[in-house]
A and B are shown apart, each in its own frame.
Chain A
Amino acid sequence: MSAIRQSQFVDKHEALWKHFDEWLDYQELSSWAKRSKKKAVKVPDDLDFPLAYRQICHHFALANSRLYSPILVERLNKLVIRGHQKLYSTRTHFWRDFLQFFAGGFPALIRQEWKVVSIAAFLFYVPFIAILVAIQFYPDLIYSVMDGSQVRDLESMYDPELHNKLGRERESDSDLYMFGYYIKHNIGIDFQLFAGGMLFGIGSLFFLLFNGIFLGAAFGHMTYIGYYDTFWGFVVGHGAFELQAAFLSGAAGLKLAEALIMPGRKSRGRALIDNGKIAVKIMYGVIVFSIIAAFLEAFWSSTVMPVMIKYVVGACLWALVAAYFIFAGRKST
């Protein structure tokens, strides 16, 4: 009977399986636990891991074909899965990849994905500019976008009368608070813009149009009532990053929608996985852009200085962002 051979089989290889398990246990310990003196960990003997893994794969195959007991097969299956996870794990060079990506990979990717990017830009900026201009002629339009109390809050935030004092616009200890707030709030919105793509793009579409109209209305109203310097001076700097982050996360969402709506020659599942890899790279860029925007908004936009300087710096930032997307990363492609 096979069972006798099974017990021989187990006796013969038990030592290797135990050793393999212990070795993996040890590898999984944190470097801190390995050095800890309180609970001295037994260091397992050296193991030629790839060789041992192949042997155990072989044992697993044998156990399967010889119809050994399910418990033994299950045990070997578990060992093999652990080995597989260890052998095929990848080492990542986070900072090197990070720098390479932002030095050229990101703008190159945005140019490569110009279709979804321009659709998203169109959906965001056209309503934005349209309503901004429209409010100059039909100022009441603001009230179809926001209610009265929102408009009043907005007005009080940028009222030049309240901004006459010299120095900073708010206590410096609240800068960090605002930084935290912008991070949580703005990046949260960006993530929703992205995730909304999974609803066949309807989510991204809605959030793009909505944010375009809402922000455009705010910009238009502030311009109409003449708060040029307090408002435009405040937003021009970080806007260079924040507005791009907003529509780019919409573009990432549309990339997912593309896989659902027109997967081409792939299955939808396959197309989603492929496009997801591209979309998440756009989101890496969005996250970094949003953090820069939140940082500028909290620590730069709120400082009080001659408004000309703010405009100049703001213009430089916009030019910088434009140049980054147009020129960076051309050599490698």
Chain B
Amino acid sequence: MPLDTIYHVNTPEGISLRLSPAGPVPRMLAWMIDILIRFAINAVLFSILGFMGKTGLGIGLIISFLLEWFYPVYFELYKNGQTPGKKTFDLYVTMENASPITPAASIIRNLLRFVDFLPLFYGFGFVSMMLTDRFQRLGDLVAGTVVLHQTHETNVLDEIKAEPITPPVSLKLNEQQALIRFYQRRPYLTDERADELARFTVPLIDKDEPKPASRLMGISSWIMGNR
């Protein structure tokens, strides 16, 4: 049983895309950034238009209405599903099948924000996100949309050089995979954490090995094909 929230979508090209839906916390933070931006725009708007008397206020009300309901719609449709807040946290909105969001879907999910916000501060939206396996709030469910994490370009780091060490026991394919994974993630780990992880592989390395991580790197390097 998978522990992560990744789900797969099959495309007409016969491959399956790996998509990772975003949970409530990054979405809430993104929403807060958007709220601040909207608040700032409103503040500037009314302080400028205030000088124009009632006409200015009228224009201000129309613009603040548009900001309230259609600010996310604009960004979702024209900026690759990313409001500024979502962009900050590398989130984006798409249809469930990972195709770009349609105008109708964007309008639905943003009009239904009102019920997601009930009874206070996105209460229903939160419950709905907890009950669905793709973290969808009510608006997402009706529109058929999801909010996904955008994966960063990870450079294939082959620069790290480790002296290849022949593994003392023969390894199964999935074990080799795990070691390659460790090898490639090594630059992102602290030395202490790397050692800690390496100690799980005790039959591979000595129990009292002083530098378990670098020894494991050597073995991984051998598996990667460096002889």
Contact = CB atoms under 8 A, between A and B. Distances in A.
A28 B80 contact: yes
A70 interface: yes
A196 B115 contact: yes
Interface string B1-42: 000000000010111011100000000000000000000000
Interface string B66-101: 001100000000001000000000000010001110
B151 interface: yes
Interface in A232-285: 256, 269, 272-273, 275-277, 279-281, 283
Contacts of A77: 17-18, 151
Task: State the 5 A-B residue pairs at the shortest beta-carbon distance, nearest first.
Answer: A180-B61, A176-B58, A180-B58, A177-B58, A276-B142
Q: How large is the interface on B (under 10, 10 to 19, 20 to 34, 35 or more residues)?
A: 35 or more
Interface in A195-220: 195-196, 198-199, 203
Nearest to A249: B111
Interface in A37-76: 53-54, 57-58, 60-61, 64, 67, 69-72, 74-75
A75 B64 CA distance: 41
Contact of B98 (A81, A273, A275, A279): A81
Contact of A80 (B15, B60, B100, B107): B15
Nearest to A192: B114
A148 interface: no
8 contacts: A57-B14, A69-B181, A70-B181, A81-B17, A84-B17, A177-B58, A194-B112, A279-B108
Contacts of A89: 99-100
Contacts, number: 156
Interface in A167-210: 171, 173-181, 183-184, 187-188, 191-192, 194-196, 198-199, 203
A276 to B, nearest CB: 4
Nearest to B11: A84
Contacts of B69: 187-188, 191
Interface residues of A, number: 63
B12 to A, nearest CB: 9
A63 to B, nearest CB: 10
A196 B103 CA distance: 21
Contacts of B108: 276-277, 279-280
A176 B180 CA distance: 66
Given A61-B15, A88-B100, A173-B54, 17 more contacts: A7-B225, A70-B181, A75-B156, A88-B99, A90-B100, A171-B54, A174-B58, A176-B55, A179-B62, A181-B58, A184-B62, A184-B64, A188-B69, A203-B115, A276-B142, A280-B104, A283-B107
Contacts of B146: none
A75 B155 CA distance: 8
Given A54-B13, A177-B55, A272-B141, A81 B115 contact: no
Interface string B99-133: 11011100110011111001000001000000000
Nearest to B150: A78
Contacts of A180: 57-62, 65
B184 interface: yes
A203 B58 CA distance: 30
A1 interface: yes
Given A57-B13, A283-B107, A69 B154 contact: no
B177 interface: yes
A332 interface: no
A187 B173 CA distance: 61
B111 A177 contact: no
Contacts of A281: 104
Contacts of A4: 225
Contacts of A276: 108, 142-144
